[in-house]
Amino acid sequence: MIWFLNGRYLPAQKAKIPINDLAVLRGFGVFDFLVTYNYQPFLLTEHLRRLYRSARLLQLKIPYSQNQLKNFIAQAIKKNHWPSLTLRIVVTGGISQSNIFPEGKTSVAVLAEKRIPYPKTCYKKGVKIKTYEYQRFLPEAKHLDYLAAVVTKSKAVKKGFLEVLYTWQGKILECTTSNFYLVKNKVLVTPQTDILQGITKKVILSLAKKMMKVEERPVLVNELKTADEALISASDKEIMPVVQINNLKVNGGKPGPYTRKLMAAFHVYTQNFSQRVSPE
C-alpha cells in the first residue's frame, strides 16, 4: 500500500515518524477515519471538518488546508488502485524540546488499507457488546488517546463481544469505535452530548426520520432493560444489530425490524453513492 506522509507518497513500510514525536510519547494528536465506495471517499468533506474541529479542541494546527488534504487523499486513492479502502488521516503533535508542549512541528499522514468487511453473520444474526464505566477525555474530539479502547476491547473480544459500550454515572455514551442507538416504542434514541458525533450517524438519523421518530437526548443505562432493539454504527461497520448487551438479550437475541429497515436504507444510500464515476 502507498501512504502519504508530509508531502510525499511512500510504501507503507517506509512511512515513519520520529519516536520522540508527541504522538508516540504522549498520545497527542488527532485523526479521522473513513472508507471508500467504488474509489469514492465517503462523506470526505464532513470527515475533514471533524478532523479540523478535533485539532482546534486540542489547539493543534494542521499545516494544510482542507482542499490540500482532499487532493492528497485523492492521489492516495489513485495510487492504491483499490475500489474499497479504509483511509486514516493522522495529524501528530510533532517533535518537542520539552517532550510535552507542542511546538507546531506536526506530521500529517494518510494511511490507506484494503477494506476488510466484517463477517456477514454480524449483520444477519447481530453482535454482542459489553458495558464499561468510562468517559473519554475531550469526547467531542477524535484524538489519539485510545488506551481504554485498546485494553477493554481486547479483553471483550476474547470473551465473544464485538464492542465495548462506555457508560458514565448512569448514562450511556458511545462504544470504543462506534455510535450507539436504542429503539423504544418505535422511537430511535441515541446520546447527544459527551460523545464523538459520528459522520455515519448523521446519515442514519436522516434516514431514520423518514420511518420513525428520532430523539437525541441523554440515554440512561436503565433503559437498556426496556429496549426493543439496539444497534451500533461506524464508517467501517455501517449499521450492525446488537442482540446482546452483557447478559441481557435484546429482542429475544435477534435483529429487530427497524434495525433491518435502517440497514436496507443505508445500503441503498451507499449503493447510490458508489454509482459515481471512478477515477481514471
Domain positions in the chain: 2-114, 121-271
Residue 196 has pLDDT above 70, yes or no: yes
Neighbours of 197 (CB within 10 A): 17
Q: Are 276 and 40 in contact (CB under 8 A)?
A: yes
> At 66, is the pLDDT very low, low, confident or very high (cuts 50, 70, 90)?
very high
Question: Average pLDDT in the 79-93 region?
Answer: 97
C-alpha cell at 93: 503533535
Task: Specify the DSSP element, H or E, that contains 32.
Answer: strand 29-37
DSSP 47: H
Q: Which pLDDT does position 279 carry in this prediction?
A: 45
Provide the mean pLDDT of the chain: 96
Question: Average pLDDT in the 63-82 region?
Answer: 97
> At 93, is the pLDDT very low, low, confident or very high (cuts 50, 70, 90)?
very high
Q: Residue 117: what are its φ and ψ, rounded to 5°?
A: -65, 150
Q: List, for residues 119-133, the tens digit of each pLDDT value.
A: 999 999 999 999 999
Q: Which pLDDT does position 275 carry in this prediction?
A: 79
Q: Are strands 238-245 and 127-133 parallel, antiparallel or unpaired?
A: parallel
Percent of the chain surpassing pLDDT 70: 98
**Closest among 42, 234, 38 to 122, alpha carbons compared:** 234
Residue 276 has pLDDT above 70, yes or no: no
CATH architecture, domain 2-114? 2-Layer Sandwich (3.30)
> At 278, is the pLDDT very low, low, confident or very high (cuts 50, 70, 90)?
very low
Percent of the chain surpassing pLDDT 90: 94
C-alpha cell at 154: 481486547
More confident residue, 101 or 64: 64
Q: List, for residues 12-31, the tens digit of each pLDDT value.
A: 999 999 999 999 999 999 99
Residue 280 has pLDDT above 80, yes or no: no
Question: Average pLDDT in the 91-96 region?
Answer: 95
Residue 183 has pLDDT above 60, yes or no: yes
CA distance 28 to 7: 21
Question: Average pLDDT in the 78-87 region?
Answer: 96
Neighbours of 70 (CB within 10 A): 15
Q: List, for residues 202-233, the tens digit of each pLDDT value.
A: 999 999 999 999 999 999 999 999 999 999 99
Question: Average pLDDT in the 87-104 region?
Answer: 92
CATH architecture, domain 121-271? Alpha-Beta Barrel (3.20)
> At 49, is the pLDDT very low, low, confident or very high (cuts 50, 70, 90)?
very high
